[in-house]
Amino acid sequence: MDASKVAEQILVKLGGQENIVSVVHCMTRLRFVLKDETIVDDQAVEQIRGVLGVMKKSGQYQIIIGNEVNAVYKEVIKLGHFGGETANTPQPNKSKMNPFSTILDVISSCMAPVIPALIGAAMIKVLLTVLPMIGWLTESSQTYQLLSVIGDGAFYFMPVLIAMSAAEKFKTNAYYAASLALIILHPNFVSLTTNAKDAGETLAFFGLIPVTYAFYAYSVIPIILSVWLLSYIEPFVDRITPNVTKNFLKPMLVMLITAPIVMTVVGPIGSILGNALSSFIYGIHDALGLVAVGLIAGVYPFIVMAGMHHAFTPIKLSIIATTGYEAFICIAEFCSNMAQGAASLAVSIKSKNKDLKQVAGSSAFSALLAGITEPALYGVTLRLKKPMLGAAIGAISGGLVGGFFELKAFGVATPALITIPQYLEKDRPISLLYILITAAVTIVVSFIATYLIGFEDIVDDHYEEEIENGTISTLTKINKLESPMAGKVIPLSEVNDKTFAGELLGKGLAIVPTKGEVVAPCDGTIDVFFETGHAIGLKTDNGAEILIHVGLETVNLNGQYFTPAVKVGEKVKKGDRILTFELEAIVAAGYDITTPIVITNSHDYLEITVARQGNVEALEEILTII
């Protein structure tokens, strides 16, 4: 795959970079937020070689790429002056989502960033199953005990990881969020609640407000609710605390208000909700037995399409933490993954389309060996429709067999052939044979069913090798850019923000200002002026697009200390005042005043170099642009 060519064609088919607000990626998908989805031809996007499918969900236009997604994402970023979601990125319209979808979206958004850490820890646990079985380690050895700590750490302290991603989701302070998780996991708190429970006593604040016992290690829902609560308390405290006391009074009040509510109300409610959800899911298993395993295995691809599979993660972890194993969802997931891989393998062998054979073959390998099924699901079985039926037949068959053998999973590593050791019971050696039989039945039935049912093969079409002329414009070049403020020039690499330091928004430099004034560095038009006043987008008369971002994270000031002197759309001349800001007040409020100045359409220029180091006055040359 030529990642740069795929990226170029994606941008063209999405309506150009002006139609793209932001883009992020997960393990297999590019996730775009578009200004207008209606102008995009989904079929045209799907026909791009390297694109496996398209999905619209939660306000995102998702393009399934597969294992090469990271390479394509990097090329997309090079072509467009946009990055990941920020506080100023338009968010999906939640009013169009029902409450159930909203809950799933929240759980999915909070779980997804944590999954790599959990998979890494789970694979360590797989090793701890295999190594003693082959005689390389004993469970009493120090090495085993140390590896056990490595494998269990991410799971036991998972609320901390979830807190960080939940803070991103709810746009609140990640360190307050992590602190809440650490509080409910603190050994003394655990000891106090446990001892009170065992003694039949009531632990209480001031002898009045009871603290209900709950076990928060391995949990998910309590900390998500806690961070959601924090997202309301933090701005409230920020509004009521005087500026002169904000540095010390605000953090104290935030934690003093939030933590007791989490201990007494939100945490226990989250624990109850998590247990209720778990009881409901496993009530189905108790009622239907092995039939439930088969049914969930058969419909699991549709659960993935709905985004509900992430909602299963806290349930599985809770059960494993309580009983030591999970015997329902994990088995169904395994059979579903094997079925998707086998169905894709059948397509690869039967298809006469070279591109489809290659896509289906790599998708089969990814699903069977690594447990990554989205390339198979969106690029093969769902795309061709009939193979989905073959995969469902195989998954149901395998689920019934696995349920009959009463298979158990002792970890949550991605279900795949290489993670089979997580299904082995130490005191039940025959469990290895049972899981191999289950895998074999699933793969064989899925393959045969798909091959016999058949599918409408894709006819080779002429593939568009070149981007339409003029879709990526070449702008008139400028020779220099002058400084919009007085201060000290530093390289972007020294800016304490990965987005700027990594030049994701473009090349340039940063200035640590000595005066609270920003002037126009050249003639142009104010293209963007954030309502918070902290960032200005200026488009020069000859096409350069300049971002001046006063301070880091200063968006959180909500416009306080910033006084714009111009409006969006207004023409400015070099030297015109465009913004004033209270430099000392911003610093006193705890913000880094470093101001990145970047050319956001850097890709339109051959070279952008820093022309000056050290101290600089306003309107002195700072960048050379070729």
pLDDT at site 465: 40
pLDDT at site 83: 53
User: Taking residues 314-340, what's their average pLDDT?
Assistant: 88
pLDDT at 464 over 60: no
Cα 591 from Cα 594, distance rounded (Å):
9
Domain boundary among 280, 311, 342: 280
> Average per-residue pLDDT in the chain?
85
Indicate which residues carry an active-site annotation.
26
pLDDT at 478 over 50: no
- Residue 460 within a domain: no
Residues 247-295 pLDDT 10s: 889 999 999 999 999 999 998 998 888 778 778 888 888 899 899 999 9
pLDDT at 320 over 50: yes
- Residue 614 within a domain: yes
Question: Which carries the bigger pLDDT value, residue 371 or residue 350?
Answer: 350
pLDDT at site 576: 93
Tell whether 386 and 527 lie within a shared domain.
Answer: no
- Residue 462 within a domain: no
Among 507, 562, 498, 512, smallest CA distance to 536 is for 562
DSSP annotation of 502 reads T
Rank 98-112, 471-485, 569-583 by mean pLDDT and report only the highest.
Answer: 569-583
Among 3, 67, 61, smallest CA distance to 30 is for 61
Tell whether 488 and 549 lie within a shared domain.
Answer: yes
Tally of structural domains, the chain: 4
Percentage with pLDDT > 70 across the chain: 90
Tell whether 541 and 603 lie within a shared domain.
Answer: yes
Domain boundary among 25, 58, 86: 86
Helix ranges (H only) for 324-373 are 329-350, 354-365
Cα 100 from Cα 447, distance rounded (Å):
35
- Residue 540 within a domain: yes
Question: Which carries the bigger pLDDT value, residue 578 or residue 604?
Answer: 578
CATH code, domain with 69: 3.30.1360.60
Tell whether 165 and 39 lie within a shared domain.
Answer: no
pLDDT at site 477: 42
DSSP annotation of 599 reads E
pLDDT at 88 over 50: no
Tell whether 259 and 293 lie within a shared domain.
Answer: no
Q: Global pTM? A: 0.56
Residues 498-513 pLDDT 10s: 878 888 788 899 999 9
Where is average pLDDT lowest: 238-252, 313-327, 446-460? 313-327
Among 112, 147, 331, 325, smallest CA distance to 220 is for 112
User: Taking residues 405-418, what's their average pLDDT?
Assistant: 89
Domain boundary among 34, 61, 86: 86
**Residue 321 sits in which domain range?**
289-453
Tell whether 299 and 408 lie within a shared domain.
Answer: yes
Residues 184-209 pLDDT 10s: 999 999 999 999 888 888 888 877 88
Residues 215-237 pLDDT 10s: 888 888 899 999 999 999 999 99
- The distance of Cα 135 from the centroid of its chain, to the nearest Å, equals 39
Which amino acid does the sequence have at 46?
A: E
pLDDT at 37 over 60: yes
Residues 437-447 pLDDT 10s: 999 999 999 99
| 341, burial (CB in 10 Å: exposed 0-12, middle 13-18, buried 19+) | buried
User: Taking residues 154-167, what's their average pLDDT?
Assistant: 90
pLDDT at site 307: 57
Percentage with pLDDT > 90 across the chain: 39
CATH code, domain with 486: 2.70.70.10
Tell whether 338 and 413 lie within a shared domain.
Answer: yes
- Residue 308 within a domain: yes
Cα 108 from Cα 510, distance rounded (Å):
36
- Residue 148 within a domain: no
**Which pLDDT band, with edges at 50, 70 and 90, does 101 fall under?**
low
Tell whether 252 and 192 lie within a shared domain.
Answer: yes
Among 456, 451, 458, smallest CA distance to 350 is for 451
Task: Enumerate residues 6+ apart whose C-beta is below 8 A from 267.
Answer: 184, 212, 214, 216, 222, 225, 226
CB atoms within 10 A of CB 480: 12
User: Taking residues 327-342, what's their average pLDDT?
Assistant: 94
pLDDT at site 387: 94
pLDDT at 361 over 70: yes
User: Taking residues 76-91, what's their average pLDDT?
Assistant: 59
Cα dist from 231 to 99, 114, 169, 605, whole Å? 19, 20, 10, 41
Cα 164 from Cα 176, distance rounded (Å):
9
- Residue 131 within a domain: no
Where is average pLDDT lowest: 273-282, 305-314, 519-528? 305-314
pLDDT at site 499: 79
What is residue 353's three-state secondary structure? coil
pLDDT at 405 over 50: yes
Tell whether 265 and 207 lie within a shared domain.
Answer: yes
What is residue 274's three-state secondary structure? helix
Rank 46-55, 384-393, 540-549 by mean pLDDT and report only the highest.
Answer: 384-393
Degrees to nearest 5, angle at CA 291 with 290 and 292 = 90
pLDDT at 84 over 60: no
pLDDT at site 487: 94
- Residue 135 within a domain: no
β-strands 209-210, 204-205 pairing = antiparallel
Q: Are 67 and 3 in contact (CB under 8 A)?
A: no
Tell whether 529 and 423 lie within a shared domain.
Answer: no
pLDDT at site 306: 60
**Which pLDDT band, with edges at 50, 70 and 90, does 38 fall under?**
confident
3-state secondary structure 165-213: HHHHHHCCCHHHHHHHHHHHHCHHHHHHHHHHHHHCCCCEECCCEECCC
Tell whether 485 and 593 lie within a shared domain.
Answer: yes
Tell whether 11 and 28 lie within a shared domain.
Answer: yes
Element (H, E) at 491: strand 487-491
pLDDT at site 278: 79
Where is average pLDDT lowest: 69-78, 95-104, 381-390, 411-420? 95-104
